[in-house]
Amino acid sequence: MFLVGLTGGIAAGKSTVASHWSDLGAIEIDADQLARDVVAPGTAGAKAVRATFGDAVFAEQDVLDRKALAAEIFGNAQKRAELEAIIHPLVRAASQAAITAAPANSIVVYNVPLLVEAGVDLPFDFVVTVEAPIEKQIERMVAHRGMTVEEANARIASQASAAARANAADAILSSNQSLDLLIKDSGKLWFKIEQLAAAKQKAGN
């Protein structure tokens, strides 16, 4: 198995790249989806969140109100740390299980926005970060995620810097360009990843 870590700033284009690579044969594991799964109704994660943050962050049928929870933690470092102490270990265990279940000859792409912030220490063979100027990130969050400029800035401020992500990465993809060009660049990088994966498999044989 060849394990790729895919990270980047919020609204930088990670999902676009992950989807393209999935079309090309990658097995994608989405950390955001895992983070939702581990706090689904009835899970230990949901119970821990309720115990820490109360009923106000839950909607009907015990569904976590992610917007209400976000309002609680962003701008409050202590509450954010409390939430991360619940979520990160659960996501880490779920991601490790998913990676272990992947076929031996596969290329697995772990799409993990908080790779740097959460100190993800999986045995990555290659790490890629997708980056865009902060102005573009804010524009996309306001236009496509219904956030205010202030909310968008708070989300960006809560993440690692572009420099920190670049320092952890083997390659950088820029989404400060047209979608066609981003897809073209990600396709070229995928070809390189396939070559690296093939070389690893050959060396293992």
Taking the C-alpha atoms of residue 142 and residue 156, their distance in angstroms, rounded to an integer, is 13
Closest CA to 5 of 122, 163, 162, 158: 122
Taking the C-alpha atoms of residue 187 and residue 180, their distance in angstroms, rounded to an integer, is 10
Q: What is the pLDDT, as a whole number, of residue 67?
A: 87
For domain 2-204, give the fold: Rossmann fold (3.40.50)
Q: What is the pLDDT, as a whole number, of residue 74?
A: 78
How far is C-alpha 111 from the chain's CA centre?
Answer: 5
Token representation of residue 192: 């390189």
pTM, entire model: 0.90
Which residues neighbour 158 within 8 Å (Cβ) at sequence distance 6 or greater? Answer: 74, 80
Closest CA to 177 of 167, 168, 186: 186
3 state SS of 110: strand
Helix runs in 31-160, H state only: 31-37, 44-53, 66-73, 77-101, 134-145, 149-157
Q: Give the domain ranges of the chain.
A: 2-204
Q: What is the pLDDT, as a whole number, of residue 37?
A: 96
3 state SS of 172: strand
pLDDT by residue for the chain (205 residues), tens only, comes to 999 999 999 999 999 999 999 999 999 999 999 999 999 999 999 999 999 999 999 998 889 999 899 888 877 889 989 999 999 999 999 999 999 999 999 999 999 998 998 889 899 999 999 999 999 999 999 998 888 999 899 889 888 999 999 999 999 999 999 999 999 999 999 999 999 999 999 998 5
Taking the C-alpha atoms of residue 177 and residue 185, their distance in angstroms, rounded to an integer, is 10
Other residues' Cβ atoms within 10 Å of the Cβ of residue 71 = 15
DSSP string, 3-57: EEEEEESTTSSHHHHHHHHHHTT-EEEEHHHHHHHTTSTTSHHHHHHHHHH-GGG
